[in-house]
Amino acid sequence: MLRVHAKLFQSMVLIVDVLLSAFVFVAALSIPGVYEGGVGKDANVFALLVPALVASLAWPLILAELDLYESQRRETVIHILGRLLLAGVISTCLVAATTALTSAPVTRAYPLIVGAGQFMVLGALRFAVLVGIRLLRRNGRNYRNVIIVGSGTRARHVLHMVQRHREWGLRVVGFVDEGDVPHDPRLPADRVFKLVDLPGIIKDNVIDEVIVACPRSMLGSIGPVVAVCATSGVPMTLLSDLFGDYMPPPQVTSFGSLAALSFAPVHHSRSALAVKRAIDVVGSAVLLVAAAPIIGAAALAIRVTSDGPVFFRQMRCGKNGRPFRMVKMRTMCVDAEERKADLMALNEMEGPVFKMREDPRITKVGRILRRWSIDELPQFWNVFIGDMSLVGPRPPVPVEVAMYATFDRRRLSMRPGITCIWQVAGRNEIASFDDWVKMDLEYIDTWSLINDLRILLRTIPATLGGTGS
């Protein structure tokens, strides 16, 4: 019944959402101290009409834009919760803006109260519906018939997932494959058909979806499958793991007017990366001002105790290997780069990185600056102009990058930073370059704003304690 009248059911849920949103808006006015208007004042009533209209319609319209009135058959609870939170934030901001613009007689906390109330009420309704429908599907109701293209290991894996997730409500009608290809013996032989039989199967049966789970060797056969699905109006799902473990999961993007699949090393949220960049700009500006006296004192000490420039500028590799000029306080003698070749035999770091605990090129002042990481302070300028970030893999020199193995280059897939995991974990005490890369890749793969905050907080005691210096 739900499958047949899905649109009617979605419309009913939308209407209920509108009514509940309006109810929460009115109910919140009854909370003591929230409503600041007098009884019977027309101006006060009019000032509440626009916010009431926004509060009643914002949630349903945003939920519709986020596809939450469409089938959530294969969505995870976490994914749905995330979109509900996003809808709540946007709706609350809209209500807050309209109450301010109309001078509505309510307290400043009122939009937050309405937003929290709507999130709880509409969220509870959404999850009640979700749980109810999934229980029906587990009992064999509200199901969809699917055809799987392929009859090998990948097709067997899809069948296993369908059987494991009964709440999806999927029934596998059969498998289609090229006629001369042996099928997986664990598949039911009476439901394995030839690819040329697909049009007849769709014609003689109710098919709601075609799932392509064929190996790469069958890529040439996908064209006819697409044609059959397009002409018969049946949705087609193409699994993105055709390349196995070689490629990460893709994102749907665009290439001009063309739709495209983007296989990035890691798909980070654009909005979260924008927040990270905003933190970098504000944070580096504040820290540059705060560190100016320390940089000035260090510059004077360098100038008095040794010949040469105060600042050391060196080419480093940034995101995707793009070169930039990193600035530090000079802690070595002026001919340090020329003397490096003579010290390579004393390198204490495995791999294409040079590290030496008792490096004779370091000046006396430089040793003090390095111990407390004062030499790194000018890098806040690199952060401010966008070459670096506060947190990220340390930027290598081009000579080191030239010696990287192919898989090592993935540590360049994110903007380099002043501090990162390996620095707060032990800095120069980490002797293996492979361990260094492993920690950088762990940071990239699990990146979040919370992780950045944790690293920044751990950097403070590591710096003050001179850990690994």
CB 147 within 8 A of CB 174: yes
DSSP 3-state of 461 = helix
Residues 344, 144: Cα–Cα separation, whole Å: 66
The DSSP H or E segment spanning 148 is: strand 144-149
Amino acid at 433: F
CB 118 within 8 A of CB 21: yes
**Segment 84-119, tens digit of pLDDT:** 888 888 889 998 988 888 888 888 888 999 989 999
- Asked whether the predicted pLDDT for residue 244 surpasses 70, the reply is no
- Asked whether the predicted pLDDT for residue 218 surpasses 70, the reply is yes
pLDDT value at residue 224? 85
- The residue with greater pLDDT, 158 or 268, is 158
Q: What percent of the chain has pLDDT over 70?
A: 88
Q: Which of 288-292, 313-317, 352-356, 361-365 has the lowest mean pLDDT?
A: 352-356
pLDDT value at residue 389? 95
Amino acid at 202: I
pLDDT value at residue 223? 83
Highest mean pLDDT among 34-38, 96-100, 282-286: 282-286
Task: Go through the domains of the chain in sequence order and give each one's CATH number.
Answer: 6-138 (no CATH), 144-242 (3.40.50.720), 270-464 (no CATH)
- Asked whether the predicted pLDDT for residue 43 surpasses 90, the reply is no
pLDDT value at residue 468? 44
pLDDT value at residue 428? 53
- Tokens 């090393």, residue located: 265
Residues 394, 412: Cα–Cα separation, whole Å: 9
pLDDT value at residue 245? 54
Question: Token pair for residue 390?
Answer: 């506060």
**Segment 160-196, tens digit of pLDDT:** 988 888 888 899 999 998 877 777 888 888 888 888 8
Q: What is the mean pLDDT of the chain?
A: 83
User: What spatial distance separates the first Cα and last Cα of the chain, rounded to whole Å?
Assistant: 69
Residues 195, 228: Cα–Cα separation, whole Å: 11
Highest mean pLDDT among 275-289, 342-356, 394-408, 438-452: 275-289
Q: Where are the beta strands (DSSP E) in 289-373?
A: 311-317, 323-329
CB 177 within 8 A of CB 195: yes
**Among the listed residues 389, 355, 166, the one whose alpha carbon sits nearest the alpha carbon of residue 272:** 389
Pure H helices in 331-448: 336-343, 364-371, 379-385, 398-402, 421-425, 433-445
pLDDT value at residue 323? 93
Question: Token pair for residue 335?
Answer: 């001919």
Write down the pTM of the prediction. 0.57
CB contact set of 125 (below 8 Å; sequence gap of 6+): 13, 16, 17, 20
pLDDT value at residue 4? 46
**Segment 373-382, tens digit of pLDDT:** 899 999 999 9
pLDDT value at residue 23? 92
Mean pLDDT of 378-393: 94
- Asked whether the predicted pLDDT for residue 71 surpasses 70, the reply is yes
Mean pLDDT of 427-448: 77
CA Rg, the chain, in Å? 30
CB contact set of 449 (below 8 Å; sequence gap of 6+): 272, 275, 276, 279
Residues 86, 443: Cα–Cα separation, whole Å: 26
